[in-house]
Structure 1
């Protein structure tokens, strides 16, 4: 008996230690079994306590009255299956007629408390079926990306979602995006993660960095780089010229006639034969305010920049040109044309911000709850952000820490993938392979 008690104490101590130091290990060893058992035993009681049940049907109530039996109990939504995952448990529930998926979303906090998990999210799979995801621990506290993630051309994993899934930056689904955040919010780390993942793909990377320190280390992998507003204006106009040339290629290839099958009519670069398909281009703009702000009333250079950006945002997707714009703010105070540009940027990512108005600039037309969530990101959670979708949905993510050395090493390793773009040849970074000598230190007299 004593040995049994000692063994139980050791196992309990090990479980507590893992829960404190290694929550992921605790979940895989003990947490899954405890959560599944708790759900099985308490499911009906929790549904009733969270007001997710419906009254018995009319014929059952009438039958109870005729037979003078007790009134039937509330009907509990049917639990179809339980599926443990790497970070939590998924429940698929069949709703009764009259129930709505919003009821389960509104009861997320009560379900979280009742089942003893860290996070609860829900979504409707199909009419009458809702899927509830229970996250066993705070996966954003220590981001650990899965060893295997789905990848594809212009689809890269960049962060971990609060429910344990992977957040992808899919340029073919969301061609243009804006990422805002205050200083030291993790915005630059997110940018490095994107560039590090893109470096291994057969795409052209173009950078605009007026700070001259964020994108220049990636020069070996960049097909073009502008580090001042004058060069940025010329570079953007060169991209517009390339875009127009690409559309000419698509138009020549269409050859539309009455007997041409629909599948053979080209409408973008992906419909072109591989030998004619131009290389996709991802344009990264490090700080939009450096391009949009101006002290002059009528600044022709600024007008050229904004006009080119708006044209690329409106027409660039079909030509294989995608925009990633970063900045601390993206509001109308940056001048004319900014709101028109922002309206074309479907992807919205907001890191920690210092004021509510900045979050409203990104999420004001998506969800007020996303605005509130963006203002609640603590200073200690660098890299944590809120992502909003045009459907009104939003979620919290956190990118893994990517150092400058890791991103530079990835760019140098895949430097052979850097394509030569004739239209942007004069903007190709000049590489200096000569060793840099340390400055001499004067000896004290």
Structure 2
């Protein structure tokens, strides 16, 4: 009605929940003058059950279930880079593991940096084109990614189709405007614990840290058109990690916060885009791992929960789609070395010899 605002409806959701005796009521603005209300009669996040039929679009993967019963997708074309924070045992690793399992079926190259000596990402190595398990290797890998990005831009420039003799052609400004035969494989870079890349104790480590953060900032600012997407994970991601961190955080559009131990950590994720989500993030109980709050630069946010994915399930998914792993020449030096597959031959047990009389 005239004079009403979408925020008025959002503020009334809790009163509507009591009025209709529902478990939850959420609102979403469809267009100017139209607001959609979703009502749920039970807690759909208590036991996450993903729908049997999901929208399968390239670079658009399902990762969680929203509190209104809808599926939460990670859309890399809409939000190229993402930040995921969460305290220990909050479900952050399971979220990342589920994301890798879903990306394994896509035609993408996975690149990982896991400074916990590779305990999270190296079991999934058969689907990764490049992996680093320490800051020194990570610095070299990021430099190689920057070089790869520059090569992709040269490819786009060479086939930009701006001449007048090519009718009805889209001028190429990113890899998705290129023909299929020329389009490079998109790359998703997963950083398991970003603080390990930013902390330093000596002058040499400080130089390495500046090199790493500079490369990450360049990839975040320029990598989208070259088909390079960042997934940055960490327990905290604030200015105490040093210069360049807030500049990097400003480029991470999609934000997801699992349970955090203090309000400051939630402010690092949502303080500059959705202040209302800060209170929702710090109110996540400890007995619901995987429950998180997600938001983006539009100011909207929602509660989500990832289905539990065991490490064995993720490994099986990566092994099943290992044939999709592209071989990137610029990152060949960082391709994980895999042990040869050993076939186990079952040896029949020998019959017991009769006892001598």
TM-score by length of 2: 0.93
| Partner in structure 1 of residue 105 of structure 2 | 200
Q: Contact (CA 8 Å) 2:129, 2:326: kept in 1 or not?
A: yes
Aligned pairs (5 A) from 1:226-265: 226-258=132-164, 263-265=169-171
- Structure 1: 5+ residue runs without aligned partners? 1-95, 437-445
- The offset of 1:254, in angstroms, is 1.3
Q: 1:100 to 1:267 in 2, by over 3 A?
A: same
Matched with 1:178 is 83
1:121-152: per-residue Cα shift (whole Å, max 9, x none)? 11233333322111111011111111111121
Structure 2 counterpart of 1:427: 334
Cα distance between partner residues in 1 of 2:170 and 2:248 = 32
- Determine if the alignment matches structure 1 residue 143 to structure 2 residue 48: yes
| 1:189 and 2:94 aligned | yes
* Residue pair 2:160, 2:171 contacting (<8 A) in 1 also: yes
1:362 equivalent to 2:269? Answer: yes
Matches of 2:120 and 2:32, distance apart in 1:
48
Deviations 1:225-255 (A, max 9, x none): 1111111001000000000000000001114
The C-alpha deviation readout for 1:349-386, integer Å capped at 9, x for no partner, is: 00000011001011111122101100000001100000
Q: Is the 8 A contact 2:161 2:170 kept in 1?
A: no
Mark the runs of 5 or more structure 2 residues left unpaired by the alignment.
Answer: 344-357
CA contact (8 A) 2:61 2:74 kept: yes
Q: Could you say which structure has the greater relative contact order, defined with CA pairs below 8 angstroms and 6 or more residues apart?
A: 2
Counterpart residue number, 1:330 = 237
Partner of 2:185: 279
1:214 corresponds in structure 2 to 120
Deviation at 1:304, TM superposition (A): 1.2
Residue 118 of structure 1: aligned partner: 23
Q: Distance in 1 between matches of 2:37 and 2:141?
A: 48
Once residues 259 and 435 of structure 1 are traced to their aligned partners in structure 2, the CA distance between those partners, rounded to angstroms, is 57
| Offset at residue 329 of structure 1 (A) | 0.5
Alpha-carbon distance, 1:198 to partner: 0.4
C-alpha distance in structure 2 between counterparts of 1:344 and 1:232, whole Å: 20
Q: Does 1:407 align with 2:314?
A: yes
Name the structure with the higher helix share.
1
Distance 1:283 1:432 in 2: 24
Distance 1:362 1:308, change over 3 A: same
| Alignment partner, residue 97 of structure 1 | 2
TM alignment of 1:296-315, pairs within 5 A: 296-297=202-203, 299-315=206-222
- Whether the aligned pair in 1 keeps the contact of 2:110 and 2:187 (CA below 8 Å) is yes
Q: Which string of whole-angstrom CA distances, capped at 9 and with x for unpartnered residues, describes residues 81-103 of structure 1?
A: xxxxxxxxxxxxxxx33333322
Tell me the CA shift for residue 258 of structure 1: 4.7
3-state SS of paired residue (1:264) = coil
Counterpart-to-counterpart distance in 2, 1:276 and 1:435:
37
Q: Cα 1:224–1:258, aligned 2, differ >3 Å: closer, same or farther?
A: same
> How far apart in 2 are the matches of 1:112 and 1:228?
50
Kindly indicate whether the alpha-carbon contact (under 8 Å) linking 2:239 and 2:246 is maintained by their aligned counterparts in 1: yes
Aligned to 1:291: 197
Equivalence for 1:351: 258
2: distance between equivalents of 1:361 and 1:261? 48
What CA distance in whole angstroms lies between the structure 2 residues aligned with 1:102 and 1:307? 39
C-alpha distance in 1 between matches for 2:173 and 2:48:
40
Is the Cα contact below 8 Å between 2:262 and 2:282 reproduced in 1?
yes
Partner SS for 2:294: strand
Match of 1:393 in 2: 300
Partner of 2:352: none
Larger Rg: 1
Residues 21-71 of structure 1, C-alpha deviations (whole Å, 9 max, x = no match): xxxxxxxxxxxxxxxxxxxxxxxxxxxxxxxxxxxxxxxxxxxxxxxxxxx
